[in-house]
Amino acid sequence: MRMILIIRMNLLVLFVSLVFISILVSYIFMKDNIHPKFYPKVKAKCACGAVYEVGSTLPEISVEICSNCHPFYSGTEKIIDTAGRVERFKKLRDIAAKTPKKSKVKKVTKTAKKLR
Ligand SMILES: [Zn+2]
């Protein structure tokens, strides 16, 4: 019984010493300069004028939209137009509204006549 206890203690000591040695080796051979510099107080500026203080690896941040001005959070309609796509869509919508629609009634009557 005593022998088993002594062997267990020896194994425990061996395991702890191995862990200690591995930590020591990893500390000694740790790589330097692999992490970017962290800026704890960076001002993130939005296009709407809101400024937020965040932590980042970038020295300064500028964003186009934030929670202050995003339609989902603000509840107001704001269209983020890129390359005039929205303008083109509005023009097409106006043109479509002005031109009279081809009525489906004619088609229905035609098919009704065919059926007769
Ligand atoms: Zn904003």
- What is the spatial distance between Cα 82 and Cα 89, in angstroms, rounded to a whole number? 12
Distance (angstroms) between ligand 1 centre and the Cα of 67 equals 6
| One domain, residues 40 and 80 | yes
d(CA 79, CA 85): 11
Q: Is the residue at 94 inside a domain?
A: no
Task: Output the CA 48–ligand 1 centroid distance in Å.
Answer: 4
Total domains in the chain come to 2
Torsion of CA 47, 53, 54, 56, to 10 degrees: 80
Output the six-digit token pair for 66.
């934030």
Place 11 in a pLDDT band, splitting at 50, 70 and 90.
confident
Q: Are 41 and 68 within one domain? A: yes
Instruction: For residue 61, count CB atoms less than 10 angstroms from its CB and return exposed for 0-12, middle for 13-18, buried for 19 or more.
Output: middle
Q: Are 20 and 60 contained in the same domain?
A: no
d(CA 69, ligand 1 centre) in Å? 4
Range of the structural domain that residue 26 is part of:
1-32
108 within some domain = no
| pLDDT beyond 90 at 39 | yes
CA of 42 to the centre of ligand 1 (A): 16
Q: What angle do CA 32, 35, 37 make, to 5 degrees?
A: 115
51-56/61-63 β-pairing: unpaired
Ligand 1 mean position to 81 CA, how many Å? 15
- Interatomic CA distance for residues 95 and 89, integer angstroms: 10
pLDDT at 37: 92
Residue 61 has pLDDT above 90, yes or no: yes
Ligand 1 centroid to residue 70 C-alpha, Å? 7
Distance 88 CA to ligand 1 centre (A): 25
Are both 6 and 28 inside the same structural domain? yes
pLDDT of 54 above 90: yes
In this structure, what CATH number is given to the domain that contains residue 66?
Answer: 4.10.80.400
**Model pTM?**
0.41
Q: Higher model confidence: residue 31 or residue 53?
A: 53
